Amino acid sequence: MSSAVEQVGRVISGRYRLLAVVGAGASAQVFAADDTRLGRRVAVKLLHPALAGDATFLRKFQAEARLAASLNHRNVLHVYDWGDENGVPYLVLEYLGGGSLRSLLDTGRLLSPQQAAAIGAEAAHGLAYAHRRGLVHRDIKPANLLFDDDGRLLVADFGLARALAEAAITEPLGAVMGTARYASPEQVEGRPVDDRTDVYSLALTLYESVTGRVPFVGDTTVATLMARVGAVLPAARELGPLAPVLAQAAISEPLARLDAAALAFELETLLLELDPPEPLPLNRTDLALPSLPLGLDLDPTERFGLVGSSSGTPALEAQAPEVAPPTQPRVGAPPLQNAPEREVAARAARASTAPPPVVLPGVRRITPAPQGVLAEPPRAKHKNRWLPWLLVVLVLELAAGAAVIAASRLVWNHATVPRVVGLQFTVAAAVLRDKGLAPEVSGEQFSQRAAPGRVISQSPSSGKREKAPSIVKMVISEGPHPTALPSLQAMTESAARSAVRRAHLVAEFSERYSETVASGIVVSSRAPAGTRLFYGDTVDVVISKGPEPRQIPTDLRGGVLTSAQADTMLTDLHLSPVNSQEYSTSVPLGYVISTRPASGQIVPGHSQVQVLVSAGPPFVTVPTLYADSEAVAEQTLGSLGLQWTLYGPPSANFVLSQLPASGTSVRVGTTVTLYMY
């Protein structure tokens, strides 16, 4: 690329005259220039000549430049034109005189949290506008955040970073390092980038503007890139209330990170809570540039007043100087020769230095009377004595009328700009037209406070005097910012509350019993995940109280139901039966004796219930009764819970044999047959 000095004075594409260098980088030189066709000051960015031979870059450059030129937002630098000059690609941009954030920081100045929040909100609005139109910047850094003369921030170089990324040339290490200082973790890892990539870089930029240091910077480019993967933004006391907002904007995982619109909302909300920011100490780039002359593209003979003569040869048109008519002696004045000597000498000197008379076409030459001789005054007629006075009166009236007309036109052609902020656009447009002003929509923005279709801001502001029909630009509200309800499935109440808050929604929690969801876990939300909502909308989130409590049936005691019947009844109530057996002489075998907890009590759903099932009477061993008397045998069997039956002659009194035999295990209540002798 030619040196910057050699480029000054060059005219690009027969239209843009380069006036002075205002910046230079690894891939481009930036010049202040005049657009000779439209008569305005612009900035021309000449890219590196090596890019001219890169077909991939040129194709992508044209596509990205066309898309960037379609952006029209107060916080996005306007792209007026693009093309190539002798194969060198160039961009024609809006010219700004406030310098860049990089140039401001390079002076050693730092921003307050309020100032950083203010410019961050403007940058986020510009990014959100571009993101809605599918354009991701990819290279947000202080050098690409520019200011106009009033301190308004504009984002520059939309689309250029993506085109350069696919170019065949390699930028120097310093340029790579400069971009790496603000790269997002997904850029480092080679993952697909989206709009949240720009938010991460903006967060690091704002962090630097307040603290004076860029987080995660290592000794090498690789160390710088890898330091931010999975890392949390370092705490800095200087950030003050700005710290939590930047922390959300610099989360390593993109899906958990704020988007640009959400960041703008958070920063504007923060500004409402803080003192107004001080004006920015702009590092202005005012240059001693020549003013743009009128008719810059006209033919030189027209520009300098040369007109064609009758012979075809250009000749300078003469303009006769305004000459005062010769001084006539006042009627009745004393003769010159009677004047004092000093006055005579003065008149003679003035006469000797007077300019020669100029002869104008169609004007009779007036020859003054010789010096020292008084001209014969015309004889005044009495009947025409009023004529001079009449002429004086007429001239004064005409002058007064012209002054009144001029003043009234100044008043009539100017109008006081009314306040239209807060009005519906149709109403605001009608109010402005009634004042002789021209309404124009300069953009749309999401607003948490203004309903859709209402005016958020106006320029010029109300109360100013503007010449009719001046344009009054208005920014119209699109209503609250759209957002999406995240999936709350399987989240605890606290996790769901945080997720809803990050989506800028308001959660209202309620509880209900659930047979399938554990206690404390989200059962449902008002709408399925992904449903489009708007900032501030209320989301109904239902939290599980666990299974509904159950009452243990009263039939599960005293041998009313079998164990199988009890199991079925408890399972239908979403309770879990656990069977155990006990000997019982009162409840038949296989029937329910009781439950634990007891029948009739309230227990949590899905809890366990121990069911006590009768195992029948217990077992005892039949004793040996041989040769025992009848009384002894009956006493022994009765103590064991056994029954008995006697067989034998009437006189028999001793046990001869027994059934079951001694040593046999039988249930309590079994009858033992005794044979007596």
Q: What is the DSSP string of 41-79?
A: EEEEEEEPGGGGG-HHHHHHHHHHHHHHHT---TTB--E
**Under 8 Å between Cβ of 221 and 172:** no
Task: In whole angstroms, give the CA distance from residue 626 to residue 635.
Answer: 14
Domain 619-676 fold: Trypsin Inhibitor V; Chain A (3.30.10)
Q: Are 124 and 199 in contact (CB under 8 A)?
A: yes
Residues 6+ away with beta carbon under 8 Å from 545: 511, 512, 513, 514, 519
**What is the DSSP track for 609-677?**
EEEEEE--SPEEEPPP-TT-BHHHHHHHHHHTT-EEEEES-TT--BEEEEESPTT-EEETT-EEEEEE-
Kindly tell me if the per-residue pLDDT of 172 is higher than 70: no
pLDDT at 331: 36
Give pLDDT, residue 336. Answer: 37
Let me know: does 311 contact 161? Beta carbons within 8 Å. no
Bigger pLDDT: 57 vs 451: 451
Q: Please write the tens of the pLDDT for every residue from 317-370.
A: 333 333 344 444 333 333 333 444 444 444 444 444 444 443 433 334 444 444
- SS (HEC) of 343-394: HHHHHHHHHHHCCCCCCCCCCCCCCCCCCCCCCCCCCCCHHHCCHHHHHHHH
**What confidence tier does 277 reach under pLDDT thresholds 50, 70, 90?**
very high
Q: Long-range contacts made by residues 338-341, C-beta under 8 angstroms, separation at least 24?
A: none
In the chain, residues under CATH classification 1.10.510.10 are 4-273
pLDDT digits (tens, 9 = 90+) for 119-156: 999 999 999 999 998 889 999 999 999 999 889 999 99
Domain spanning 416-477, CATH class:
alpha beta
**Which range has highest mean pLDDT (215-219, 335-339, 433-437)?**
433-437
- Whole-number pLDDT of residue 480: 84
Amino acid 372: pLDDT? 41
Task: Output the pLDDT for position 418.
Answer: 93
Confidence of residue 167 (pLDDT cuts 50, 70, 90): low
Q: Are 642 and 658 in contact (CB under 8 A)?
A: no
Query: Is 293 or 73 the better-scoring residue by pLDDT?
Result: 73
Q: Quick one: pLDDT band at residue 665, thresholds 50, 70, 90?
A: very high
pLDDT band at 223 (very low <50, low <70, confident <90, very high): confident
Q: Give me the pLDDT at residue 340, please.
A: 42
C-beta separation of 249 from 199 below 8 A: yes
pLDDT of residue 312: 36
Which pLDDT score, from 0 to 100, does residue 11 have?
94
Of the chain, the percentage scoring pLDDT greater than 90 comes to: 47
What would the pLDDT profile of 178-193 be if each residue is shown by its tens digit?
468 899 999 888 888 8
Quote the DSSP letter at residue 209.
Answer: H
Instruction: Answer whether CATH 3.30.10.20 is correct for domain 482-544.
Output: yes
For every residue of 104-146, DSSP letters joined together read HHHTT----HHHHHHHHHHHHHHHHHHHHTT---S---GGGEE
- The Cα-based distances of 16 to 49, 179, 288, 459, 585 in angstroms read 18, 30, 18, 30, 113
Local structure of residue 449 (DSSP, 8 states): S
Active-site choice (34, 81, 139, 198): 139
Report pLDDT for 1. Answer: 52
The widest CA-to-CA distance across the chain, in whole angstroms, is 206
Q: pLDDT tens digits for 449-469? A: 788 999 988 988 888 888 777
Judge whether residue 307 has pLDDT over 50: no
Quick one: pLDDT band at residue 73, thresholds 50, 70, 90? very high
Q: Answer for the pair 610, 578: CB distance below 8 angstroms, yes or no.
A: yes
Own/partner pairs for 490-493, CB < 8 Å, 24+ apart?
A: 490/521, 490/522, 491/521, 491/522, 492/520, 492/521, 492/522, 493/520, 493/522, 493/541, 493/543
Is the pLDDT score of 474 beyond 90? yes
Nearest to 220 by CA among 157, 265, 176, 158: 176
Q: Is the pLDDT confidence value at 662 over 70?
A: yes
Task: Kindly report, as residue ranges, where domains of CATH 3.30.10.20 are found in the chain.
Answer: 416-477, 482-544, 550-614, 619-676
Task: Write the pLDDT tens digit of every residue in 377-414.
Answer: 444 444 556 677 777 777 777 777 666 555 555 445 67
User: For 571, which DSSP code?
Assistant: H
Which has the minimum average pLDDT: 44-58, 373-387, 543-557, 644-658?
373-387
The Cβ of residue 132 has, within 10 Å, a number of other Cβ atoms equal to 15
What is the model's pLDDT at position 8?
87
219 is catalytic: no
Q: How many helices (H) and strands (E) does the chain have?
A: 18, 30
Between 264-278, 364-378, 576-590, the lowest mean confidence (pLDDT) is in 364-378
Confidence of residue 117 (pLDDT cuts 50, 70, 90): very high
**What would the two tokens of residue 2 be?**
């030619």
- Note the Cα 451 to chain centre separation in Å: 18
- Does domain 550-614 fall into CATH 3.30.10.20? yes
As a whole number, mean pLDDT of residues 93-109 equals: 93
- Supply the pLDDT for residue 288: 52
3-state secondary structure of 199: helix
The CATH homologous superfamily of the domain defined by 4-273: Transferase(Phosphotransferase) domain 1 (1.10.510.10)
First to last CA, the chain: 139
pLDDT at site 226: 85
3-state SS class at 334: coil
The b-or-e profile of 481-503 (16+ CB within 10 A means b, else e) is: bebebbebeebebeebeebbebb
In the predicted model, what is the mean pLDDT of residues 22-37?
85
